Amino acid sequence: MIHFCVVHWKNACWIRRQLRHIAAYTKGNYRILCLHTDLDGPIPEHDHLGFCEETQIREHAVKLDILGFEACRQADSDDDILVFIDSDAFPVAPWEEACLSQLDRHGLVAVQRLENLGDSQPHPCFCVTTVGFWRGIGGTWASGHKWRRTNGTKISDVGGNLAKHLDRADVNWKPLLRSNAHDPHPLWFGVYGDIVYHHGAGSRGRLSHFDRDRIARLVRRDHPVRFTAQDLLLRLSGRNRLTRLRRALHPRDHENALLDAEEARLTTLSESIEAAAEDGLLTPSILDDILREAT
Q: Would you state the pLDDT for residue 202?
A: 78
59-75 exposure pattern, b = at least 16 Cβ within 10 A, e = fewer: ebbbbbbbbbebbbeeb
Q: Would you state the pLDDT for residue 205?
A: 81
Stretch 66-95: mean pLDDT: 97
Pairwise CA distance, residues 85 & 6, whole Å: 5
- pLDDT digits over 126-157, tens only? 999 999 999 999 999 999 999 999 999 999 99
- Provide CATH code, domain 2-178: 3.90.550.10
pTM above 0.85, yes or no: yes
Sequence-ordered alpha helix ranges (H) in the chain: 13-25, 60-74, 96-100, 103-106, 131-137, 160-168, 209-222, 224-237, 243-249, 252-279, 284-294
Proportion of the chain above pLDDT 90, given as a percent: 79
Q: Which residues contact 176 (CB under 8 A, 6 or more apart)?
A: 109, 110, 111, 112, 126, 192, 193, 195, 196
Q: Would you state the pLDDT for residue 30?
A: 98
Torsions phi, psi for 283 (to 5 deg): -130, 165
- pLDDT digits over 244-288, tens only? 655 665 777 888 899 999 999 999 999 999 999 998 999 999 999
Pairwise CA distance, residues 145 & 148, whole Å: 11
Check whether 230 has a pLDDT greater than 70: no
- pLDDT digits over 99-128, tens only? 999 999 999 999 999 999 999 999 999 999
Check whether 2 has a pLDDT greater than 80: yes
Q: Would you state the pLDDT for residue 266?
A: 95
